A and B are shown apart, each in its own frame.
Chain A
Amino acid sequence: MSLPKPVMRGLLGKRLRFHAPIAVVLSIVAAVAFKYGVTEPRKQAYADFYKQYDAVKEFNAMREAGVFESVRPTGE
């Protein structure tokens, strides 16, 4: 039983022509998924936090806790 002649040329080229576009597409998908799965929610979380942020109130809370050296809590 003699074996038929297989294809012996251009094997790597064929593989790359098949896999390279897939790799490019998957890379773009990965980048888009990271952007909308991670960075956008993160940016939104920061935005939401600071939308209602009262810097003065937070400062006074910290002051009363005595963590500053430049201003002591009211009452000392």
Chain B
Amino acid sequence: MFRAVFRLSATGARSLARSRACYSAPLASRCYSHGRVETDEEFDSRWVTYFSKPDIDAWELRKGMNTLIGYDLVPEAKILDSALRACRRLNDMASAVRILEAVKDKAGPHKDIYPYLLQELQPTLSELGISTPEELGIDKL
């Protein structure tokens, strides 16, 4: 005859006890009660690595860009550089220009971000021969 042991669920009690105030944490962070929050640098490197895959395919490029655009941030120049080089490997000029359009749109009302990014990406754009939407005249409606 065994006695059943009743105990409070350990995980339930633990998650109630510890909740991190997360509104000052960086983007894409979940309110974990455990586990560390990824730093901005780690986030950036992860994405640079993603787009640097030598045999990246078109789906992965689109998926990566769409996921990246979903975050509350404008991607860093180095991530965009990696993505543009992936477009080059895929011979996808259209996506390269679209990435620039998307980045401008992500900046929203903050008009200083897009010119800054174009400044940072200028070497890459010249090297890869990518035109900006403005140069193509497709930035106006």
Contact = CB atoms under 8 A, between A and B. Distances in A.
Interface residues of A, number: 13
Interface of A: 2-13, 17
A13 B23 contact: yes
Specify which of A4, A7, A9 lies most central, judged by the most chain B CB atoms within 10 Å of its CB. A9
Contacts of B113: 6, 8
User: What's the dominant secondary structure at chain B's contact region?
Assistant: loop
Contact of A11 (B74, B75, B76): B74
A12 B107 CA distance: 10
B119 A3 contact: yes
A17 B23 contact: yes
B37 to A, nearest CB: 13
A13 B71 CA distance: 11
29 contacts: A3-B115, A3-B116, A4-B116, A6-B110, A6-B112, A6-B116, A7-B110, A8-B73, A8-B74, A8-B75, A8-B76, A8-B107, A8-B113, A9-B26, A9-B27, A9-B72, A9-B73, A10-B26, A10-B72, A10-B73, A11-B72, A11-B73, A11-B107, A11-B110, A12-B72, A12-B108, A13-B23, A13-B27, A17-B23
